[in-house]
């Protein structure tokens, strides 16, 4: 993941602006590159797509995916939808929140983990489900969650 | 010829270690200098057996599972390449009752083929439907789909052929085929499985749809929670282009059909078709009032077919085997097969493709084996977060659109989420409202405000503040949401709430809460 680079960001915007309905592909590409969408890019997007800054901002804020600030080193997404609830995801999430000292939607103080809620990963026959740095995990008990966190901590910086 | 060993690359299989098993198998093949190759297939949909390993033998594929990397060496010792006995051996895959008792039409190839092998696809009847379609007029293709009785598998159950006919007849300089792959309902994974396990069937279905209505551009709007599906689809699409199945003169038709995958961004509401179109156009996923129907004014204001993944992936077999073949499965006005997804607290979770008409009880017990925890079943939610909670006494309801509607439930996309006796339905009802509040697009008041008031009201009921009065308020609120919301999110959130109150009143009256 690169640190935000306005010049690079503007290049991405320019590369994708001709796509029909280009805004989401642009936002995804920016987040893929930098881990978040910095507010400073809003005018450039608005300009490239000939829409208002308010429309760009409104779109960014509408979708759960787009981050406004850099995430932690590791991103742990935990499903809290019904199928996972039926297998006790609430207790696992609570355990992880306590362990990390961060609530769903927050990043730990040391910047190691961002903990996110997700509503269904499509792994509902192996609930509770989670995703760590893009890798799926099933039957995530508190023990499995601990293992994943320990393992990611040991691996350190590099995601994925 | 090398012996083929199959290990799924399906996301669910990966989530329980399929990659590590594949690595261990590769290592054994190398160390033992065996003439064998590992093929990464889709999943057969028996998730309690994942990672499932299969080996091709003259008798058919022999299955082993659930695998662990540690068990791999002993498998080779036992004679894996000849399909020999082992503690994890499950016998011939096709003879496993869970699979044998299904009627796999849409999922005929899923879990069998290498998802990215076009030759695998073609050798197993792939592109036969399209070849037939090429010999037919547009009207005839639409008629065939109409006659098959296929109804939208996304949840609404609208007849696919009628939708296509509207788009065919609509005037427009450009028309679109949009595949709704925003499979957000908890307890569902059929779309994901087909996109990861047999992506060409979706590409073929969309191409046929394009030819049928005169659309030259297709988009697959896939949710971002499915990165594996997005990756597989993108690769499959480029393979289809390289081999002349997409683009100008697609499949030698003389017609153009282009296809692109677009990724959602974590908004449940974008599974609603008009929200999805807004999102595809690059805006907030706020719903559009209907009319105009997307079939008349859809993507970029042009006539657009918006169909679910399973609907589109079912089109090739209808065109291949004929409308009558498909129509002969099912019951009443629900024709063909339903891809039932057994999920949550269930012993044998997975995908069951079966003609409409199987009862919920048969699905949960005959296939699913009851709860995973072994405790008593208490509630079942069918149809995702907007589906009703059914108690034990309604389990004999057949899985059929009309039969479920008659019991104030919905089949939806076919997801079945089982809960054992530890579930608290007041809590589940509260979650339904909370989820609606979280995911509401904000366009209409009953949904935007009603859901938040719903959470507050249920909280008061749980705390026993004016319980009787607040239950009345909740009822009123649900009525307003049902009748006054612009789309299914606000309009159906009352289903889980009211069904919880009706069938599990004890959870709202403090006797167990």
- B374 in any annotated domain: yes
Q: Residue B429: CB partners within 8 Å, gap ≥ 6?
A: B458, B496, B497, B500, B501, B508
Helix, strand, coil percentages for chain B (3-state, nearest 5): 45, 15, 35
pLDDT at B511 over 60: no
Residues 82-101 of A with CB under 8 A from B: 82-87
| Residue B113 Ramachandran class (φ > 0 left, ψ -120 to 50 alpha, else beta) | beta
Residue A160: the pLDDT is 43
Residue B322 sits in the same domain as residue B363: no
Q: A51 to chain B, minimum CA–CA distance in Å?
A: 10
Counted domains in chain B: 4
Of A63, A65, A87, the CB nearest to B345: A87
Residue B92 sits in the same domain as residue B122: no
* Rounded (5°) CA angle B55-B58-B59: 85
Residue B1: the pLDDT is 82
Among candidate residues A75, A8, A2, A66, the one with its CA nearest the CA of residue A39: A66
- B246 in any annotated domain: yes
SS3 state of residue B3: strand
Among candidate residues B62, B74, B100, B319, the one with its CA nearest the CA of residue B209: B319
Of B192, B345, B431, the CB nearest to A122: B192
Give the pLDDT confidence of B148-183 residue by residue, as tens digits. Answer: 999 999 988 999 999 999 999 999 999 999 999 999
Q: Which two tokens stand for residue A131?
A: 């995703």
pLDDT at B512 over 50: no
Residue B196 sits in the same domain as residue B258: yes
Complete DSSP assignment for B62-80? EEE-S--GGGHHHHHHHTG
Residue B295 sits in the same domain as residue B366: no
Tell me whether A139 touches chain B (CB under 8 Å).
yes
Residue B513: the pLDDT is 41
**Is there a contact between B262 and B280 (Cβ–Cβ < 8 Å)?**
yes
Q: Which two tokens stand for residue B382?
A: 């069918």
Radius of gyration of chain B (CA): 23
Which residues of chain A does B224 touch, with a Cβ-Cβ cutoff of 8 Å? 28, 65
Q: A70 to chain B, minimum CA–CA distance in Å?
A: 17
Which residues of chain B does A48 touch, with a Cβ-Cβ cutoff of 8 Å? none
**Is there a contact between B305 and B295 (Cβ–Cβ < 8 Å)?**
yes
Residue B218 sits in the same domain as residue B311: yes
Which residues of chain A does B279 touch, with a Cβ-Cβ cutoff of 8 Å? 24
Residue B239 sits in the same domain as residue B310: yes
- B112 in any annotated domain: no
- B348 in any annotated domain: yes
Which residues of chain B does A28 touch, with a Cβ-Cβ cutoff of 8 Å? 224, 263, 265
Q: What is the DSSP letter of B48?
A: G
- B106 in any annotated domain: no
Residue B134 sits in the same domain as residue B240: yes
Give the pLDDT confidence of B390-428 residue by residue, as tens digits. Answer: 999 999 999 999 999 999 999 999 999 999 999 999 999
Q: A129 to chain B, minimum CA–CA distance in Å?
A: 8
> How far apart are alpha carbons B513 and B505 in whole angstroms?
10
> How far apart are alpha carbons B397 and B393 in whole angstroms?
9
Of A49, A62, A82, the CB nearest to B385: A82
Residue B207 sits in the same domain as residue B302: yes
Spans in chain A with pLDDT lower than 70:
157-160
- B513 in any annotated domain: no
- CATH number of the domain within which B302 lies: 3.40.50.11540
Residue B245 sits in the same domain as residue B394: no
Domain span holding position B210: 118-327
Q: Which residue has the higher pLDDT, B122 or B1?
A: B122
pTM: 0.97
Q: A10 to chain B, minimum CA–CA distance in Å?
A: 18
* Rounded (5°) CA angle B26-B189-B397: 135
**Is there a contact between A30 and A41 (Cβ–Cβ < 8 Å)?**
yes
Decide which of B390, B420, B450 is a domain's last residue: B420
- CATH number of the domain within which B24 lies: 3.40.30.10
- Residues B315, B321, B326, B329, CA torsion sign: negative
Give the pLDDT confidence of B260-284 residue by residue, as tens digits. Answer: 999 999 999 999 999 999 999 999 9
Residue B152 sits in the same domain as residue B94: no
Residue A2: the pLDDT is 87
Q: Which two tokens stand for residue A90?
A: 């609430």
> How far apart are alpha carbons B48 and B51 in whole angstroms?
8
Residue B130 sits in the same domain as residue B274: yes
Decide which of B66, B100, B134 is a domain's last residue: B100
Tell me whether A27 touches chain B (CB under 8 Å).
yes
Q: B225 to chain A, minimum CA–CA distance in Å?
A: 6
- B113 in any annotated domain: no
pLDDT category, B510, cuts 50, 70, 90?
low
pLDDT at B290 over 60: yes
Residue B370 sits in the same domain as residue B406: yes
Residues 54-73 of A with CB under 8 A from B: 55, 58-59, 62-66
Q: Which residue has the higher pLDDT, B210 or A1?
A: B210
Decide which of B420, B440, B457 is a domain's last residue: B420
- CATH number of the domain within which B469 lies: 1.20.1440.230
- B105 in any annotated domain: no
Look at A27 and B188 and tell me if their CB atoms are within 8 Å. Answer: no
């Amino acid at each position: 993941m690169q640190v935000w680079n306005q010049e690079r960001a503007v290049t991405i915007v320019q590369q994708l602006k001709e796509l029909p309905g280009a805004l989401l592909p642009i936002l995804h590409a920016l987040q893929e590159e930098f881990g978040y969408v910095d507010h400073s890019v809003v005018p450039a997007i608005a300009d490239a797509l000939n829409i208002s800054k308010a429309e760009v901002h409104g779109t960014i804020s509408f979708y759960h995916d787009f981050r406004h600030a850099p995430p932690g080193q590791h991103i742990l997404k935990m499903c809290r939808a019904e199928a996972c609830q039926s297998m006790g995801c609430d207790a696992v999430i609570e355990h992880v929140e306590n362990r990390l000292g961060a609530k769903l939607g927050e990043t730990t103080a040391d910047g190691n983990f961002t903990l996110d809620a997700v509503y269904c990963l499509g792994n509902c026959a192996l609930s509770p489900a989670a995703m760590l740095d893009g890798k799926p995990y099933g039957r995530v008990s508190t023990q499995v969650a601990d293992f994943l966190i320990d393992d990611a901590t040991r691996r350190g910086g590099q995601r994925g | 010829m090398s012996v083929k060993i199959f290990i799924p690359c399906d996301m669910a299989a990966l989530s329980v270690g399929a990659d590590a098993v594949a690595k261990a198998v590769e290592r054994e093949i190398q160390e033992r200098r065996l003439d064998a190759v590992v093929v990464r297939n889709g999943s057969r949909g028996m998730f309690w057996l994942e990672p499932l390993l299969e080996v091709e033998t003259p008798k058919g594929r022999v299955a082993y599972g659930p695998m662990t990397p540690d068990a791999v060496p002993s498998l080779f010792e036992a004679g894996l390449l000849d399909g020999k006995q082992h503690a994890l051996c499950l016998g011939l895959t096709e003879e496993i009752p869970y699979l044998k008792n299904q009627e796999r039409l849409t999922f005929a190839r899923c879990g069998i083929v290498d998802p990215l092998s076009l030759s695998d696809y073609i050798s197993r009847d792939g592109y036969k439907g399209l070849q037939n379609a090429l010999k037919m007029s547009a009207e005839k293709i639409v008629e065939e789909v109409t006659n098959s009785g296929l109804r939208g598998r996304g949840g609404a159950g609208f007849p696919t052929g009628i939708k296509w006919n509207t788009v065919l007849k609509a005037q427009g300089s450009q028309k679109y085929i949009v595949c709704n792959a925003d499979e957000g309902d908890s307890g569902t994974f059929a779309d994901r499985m087909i996109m990861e396990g047999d992506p060409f069937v979706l590409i073929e279905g969309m191409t046929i749809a394009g030819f049928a209505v005169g659309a030259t551009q297709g988009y697959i709007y896939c949710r971002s929670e499915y990165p594996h599906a997005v990756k597989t689809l993108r690769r499959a699409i480029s393979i289809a282009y390289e081999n002349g199945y997409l683009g100008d003169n697609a499949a030698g038709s003389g017609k153009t059909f282009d296809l692109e995958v677009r990724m959602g961004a974590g908004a449940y509401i974008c599974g609603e078709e008009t929200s999805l179109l807004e999102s595809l156009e690059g805006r907030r996923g706020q719903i559009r009032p209907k009319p105009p129907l997307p079939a008349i004014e859809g993507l970029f204001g042009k006539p657009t077919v918006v169909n679910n993944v399973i609907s589109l992936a079912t089109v090739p077999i209808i065109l291949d085997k004929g409308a009558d073949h498909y129509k002969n499965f099912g019951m009443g006005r629900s024709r063909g097969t339903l891809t039932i997804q057994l999920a949550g607290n269930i012993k044998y979770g997975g995908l069951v493709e079966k003609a409409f008409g199987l009862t919920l009880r048969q699905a949960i017990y005959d296939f699913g084996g009851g709860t995973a925890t072994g405790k008593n079943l208490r509630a079942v939610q069918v149809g995702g977060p907007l589906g009703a909670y059914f108690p034990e006494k309604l389990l004999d309801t057949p899985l059929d659109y009309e039969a479920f509607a008659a019991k104030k439930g919905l089949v939806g996309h076919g997801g079945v989420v089982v809960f054992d006796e530890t579930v608290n339905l007041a809590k589940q009802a509260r979650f339904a409202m909370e989820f609606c509040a979280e995911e509401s697009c904000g366009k209409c008041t009953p949904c935007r405000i009603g859901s938040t008031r719903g959470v507050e009201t249920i909280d008061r009921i749980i705390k026993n503040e004016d319980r009787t009065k607040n239950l009345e308020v909740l009822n009123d609120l649900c009525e307003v949401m049902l009748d006054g919301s612009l789309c299914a999110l606000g309009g159906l959130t009352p289903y889980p709430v009211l069904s919880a109150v009706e069938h599990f009143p004890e959870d709202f009256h403090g006797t167990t809460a």
